[in-house]
A and B are shown apart, each in its own frame.
Chain A
Amino acid sequence: MAHAGQLTAARTPRPALADPVTMVRIAIIVGVLAFWEVLSRSGWLYRDVVPSLVAISKAVGELLIDKDYYWNLGWTGFEVAVALGIGGVGGLLAGLILGSNKLLGKSFEPYLYYLGPTPKIIFFPVMIMWFGIGPGSKIALGTISCFFPIALSTAAGMRQIKPVLISVGRTYRANAWQMMTKIYIPAMRHPIINGIRLGLGVAIIGTLLAETKLSNKGIGFLIINAYSTFDMPRMYALLIVLFVLSIGVNALVGRFGGLDKIKRS
């Protein structure tokens, strides 16, 4: 009898809070915060390097009502968006060409593979010379950052398309444009979306890194500014807000194009 009771209990969905995984996750966050607070009050580290949670929360609050912050956030967002636009379209086109042309694919791919994982920040001095210290050089760095993962995953995706799907398009006499938009690109949706996701990540990194190096606007500029004026609470507040924003944007890209509705093959 008790056994039967146990079975039914296991089947009814438990409230989310009682779920052991959720519990452990909450415990991790609480643990980290507690550790942080102990560290900040202990005086072990140099004064203010680890500000208290109270100070950081206050700084976050101040940040969120700061006009200056939104203006700079707008610039960074703009730079990332333009970089992703240019690098994304360029990467997609390059991937489509390299994936469909064996000769070009074989010739170019080694370069892409070796350049792909190279930190693009090494090109920053060149970008500064070409595009100045304004948003131009940040966009350029973001663009070359996201070009590679998108081009590589598009080219790889192109080669994984089932040949029979291409035959189907040919027998219905689809023209080149229809083949591209109705067969190739949808058939490659998973590698393309993955490429865009990776590309977005490195575009954000590239842009922010460039902003912290040499710039006059953007979130990276604010962070490095807070750092050099030793406004630690503000710096941490910026990092936290940035972190949350990146997670949000990434989640958004995951749903991009109704990804979770489109069934896998």
Chain B
Amino acid sequence: MAAIVQSFDSKASATPSSSDAIMRVEDISMRFSTPDGVLTAVDDVSFAVRPGEFLSVIGPSGCGKSTLFNVIGGLLGGYEGRVSVAGETITGPHASIGMVFQEESTFPWRTVVDNVAFPLELSGMAKAQRVERARHFIKLVGLDGFENRYPSELSGGMRQRVSMARTLAFEPKILLMDEPFAALDEQTRLLLGDKVLQIQQQLKQTTLLITHNITEAVQLSDRILVMTYRPGKIKRIVDIDLPRPRTSDIVSSEAFGRYVAQIWSDLREEASRGMSDDEKTRQGGHPR
């Protein structure tokens, strides 16, 4: 156990040099024009992601996390700044980036195995081969036995795992997830967190997780990027020096509690700023 902690620590203390990073996000700003004027959703955000790292972005609701997610995924244009993968600037959905969405995104007309095989089907892989690959990833997310079910026959948590398996089957260099478990209850969320940890430790999958759940972020991450409320800037980057491999048991440890408390105090400031902001606009918008 001690050896694991040590080896992990030595890895975590290495700072990413520019050549080391698998993905760089540089000076990203995104503005929307709304009826009330220009809204800056993301303001000058920069960070780098190391290969094999699990990085979480946490921030209060409405701080621009999904906007950032869509920019990095190449689904949204019209931003300032640059996102690059292995030195290559992205201009649209990139083959190295796989996305798991917050919303339910399985195809209801496809069985589990056909859902997971979808990206392989697009690339023209032969049927027998892609079914075999799909089964592998279905097993990885713990859904073996459900291969021939339709999404409507599964629970919400199982459907999110199908989406995850589907994106893993795409074999992206970087896995991008936007609050994939937001719609689930706390217990399911923790257990799915276990699954994600297992998979991440097995595949050494570079992962960028967007979340507003502190427990989830600390449980899973190597580093956490805390964002401010509108405009969405980076407030702080927290290194999580907790031993790996981890399980959901870690949430009851003392060190875990300290991280949670630290991030919560950062976030509380931002969240309350967001709330008073909302009140102000409400009062301004509807004078009595």
Contacts and interface: CB of A to CB of B under 8 A. Distances in A.
Given A164-B101, A263-B150, A263-B153, A171 B73 contact: yes
Interface stretch (B16-24, B103-111, B259-267, B278-286): B103-111
Nearest to A170: B93
A168 interface: yes
Q: Which of A168, A178, A187, A263 has the most CB of B within 10 A?
A: A168
Contacts of B152: 263-265
B75 interface: yes
Contact of A264 (B92, B99, B101, B108): B108
Contacts of A164: 101, 103-105
Interface residues of A, number: 20
Interface in A251-265: 262-265
Nearest to B70: A167
Contact of B93 (A162, A165, A173, A264): A173
Contacts of A186: 107, 109-110
Given A171-B73, A172-B170, A173-B122, A165 B105 contact: yes
B226 to A, nearest CB: 26
A265 B118 contact: no
B95 interface: yes
Nearest to A167: B75
- Label chain A's interface by main secondary structure: helix
Contact of B122 (A167, A182, A264): A182
Contacts of A172: 93, 118-119, 122, 170
Q: Which of A170, A172, A183 has the most CB of B within 10 A?
A: A172
Given A171-B93, A265-B108, A178 B101 contact: no
Given A170-B93, A263-B151, A187 B109 contact: yes
Pairs A-B, 7 closest by C-beta atoms: A265-B108, A263-B150, A263-B152, A172-B119, A171-B99, A164-B103, A186-B109
Given A172-B170, A178-B122, 13 more contacts: A164-B101, A168-B107, A173-B95, A173-B122, A182-B118, A182-B121, A186-B110, A189-B109, A262-B150, A263-B109, A263-B153, A265-B108, A265-B151
Interface of A: 162, 164-165, 167-168, 170-174, 178, 182-183, 186-187, 189, 262-265
